[in-house]
Chain A
């Protein structure tokens, strides 16, 4: 019974949102605001269930890990942004997270991205076959794309030609991304229509 009502609610809300395709209307606005409200409520319970209870309250009560008062303090002063007079305190916790993020970012970018990606571009150009041709395209494509985004020097001569070829590679990449984006959007629509036809109208299966 609960499921049937749920499916009808879900179908109704789905149609409310689709009504926007005809034109903006109160049904759409209702569904949109309901979505934002419910999601915000969900965040609150989420923060309790997956952060505050398992990472702070329980360890402090059950394991006497009182050192956790420090991150709890930093977390709470983050919320001082709500009160203009003491909002400067929130900068301390922001500084903590930004500093950590930046520190991790430095090593992560070098070890996990830049080095392996440069290494993977150094592909062999020996032999006269299709693989060598592909490897050549990879090296050439990476370099010319980098040249295209190199703004520190005026693009003249070799740089200008490099960047012109770079834009060709970039256009192919954007075209591929566009094709994939169409694919993704259509998949989402298929998912919703499938729900309406199968779970709600029971036309399928």
Chain B
């Protein structure tokens, strides 16, 4: 009984309904129940951050133990992880919070996480340029339209476009605010209606895939 899906489906229904009812009747007792539930949600959601960390570290520990081909890099990962946690604990004791601007934890953030993360994402600039060169072809009417719009926007949104013609940025702004906006709104409404349907199905217990 405890292990089945009955209790979770009931919890989902109950919490979902509380949120909906308290929206329409924000007075006692619903308003207070909502208030408490929202804080609890925040706390519980905080624990999910720990879930991914364990499976990641566990995987690399196993790789290291088995001396897999790239075990050295798993070692780097584990050392990076351990060192950050240790520094974080020491600095928490020293400053009351590891997030103090003077702490070595902040140092790790500034000189390791920032360059690594931002450089990783900046690689995409090279890849998108190469992809534009190799794959962006005017194969048919639709593709040509996409390509022409992209070129206009790319020119119209940078200062160079303003030098070519003052009308180019204006035309770009028109594209953004009229035809592209209309299509995005259509797509947005479609997604939102879909999400609404899924939410209702979840609350009513019809959609249960999140429990598997």
Contacts and interface: CB of A to CB of B under 8 A. Distances in A.
Contacts of B151: 179
A79 B92 contact: no
Given A81-B51, A109-B195, A186 B125 contact: yes
A78 B44 contact: yes
Nearest to B116: A35
B164 interface: no
Among B18, B43, B148, B193, residue most surrounded by chain A Cβ atoms (within 10 Å): B43
B12 A88 contact: no
A139 B181 CA distance: 11
Contacts of A186: 125
A159 interface: no
A182 B92 contact: no
A171 B146 contact: yes
B92 A36 contact: no
Interface in A141-166: 141-146, 148-149, 166
A71 B53 CA distance: 21
Interface string B110-145: 111111111111111111110010000000001101
Contacts of A139: 182
A13 B115 contact: yes
Contacts of A189: 122, 125-126
A102 B48 CA distance: 18
Interface string B150-184: 11111001100000000000000011101111111
B43 A55 contact: yes
A50 B15 CA distance: 25
B79 A175 contact: no
Contacts of B154: 179, 182-183
Interface string B179-201: 11111111111101101101110
Interface string A119-145: 011000000000000100111111111
A96 interface: yes
Among B51, B116, B176, B192, residue most surrounded by chain A Cβ atoms (within 10 Å): B116
Given A37-B79, A95-B211, A176 B149 contact: yes
B46 A105 contact: no
A113 B199 CA distance: 15
B193 A17 contact: no
Interface of B: 2-3, 5, 7-9, 11-20, 23, 36-54, 56-57, 70, 73-74, 76-85, 88-89, 92, 97-99, 105, 107-129, 132, 142-143, 145-154, 157-158, 174-176, 178-190, 192-193, 195-196, 198-200, 202-203, 210-211
Interface of A: 2, 6-7, 9-11, 13-14, 17-18, 20-21, 29-52, 55-56, 67-68, 70-72, 74-76, 78-79, 81-82, 88, 91-107, 109-110, 113-114, 117-118, 120-121, 134, 137-146, 148-149, 166-183, 185-186, 188-189, 191-192, 195
* Pairs A-B, 10 closest by C-beta atoms: A141-B182, A145-B186, A103-B19, A175-B149, A41-B84, A37-B80, A179-B153, A51-B46, A45-B88, A99-B15
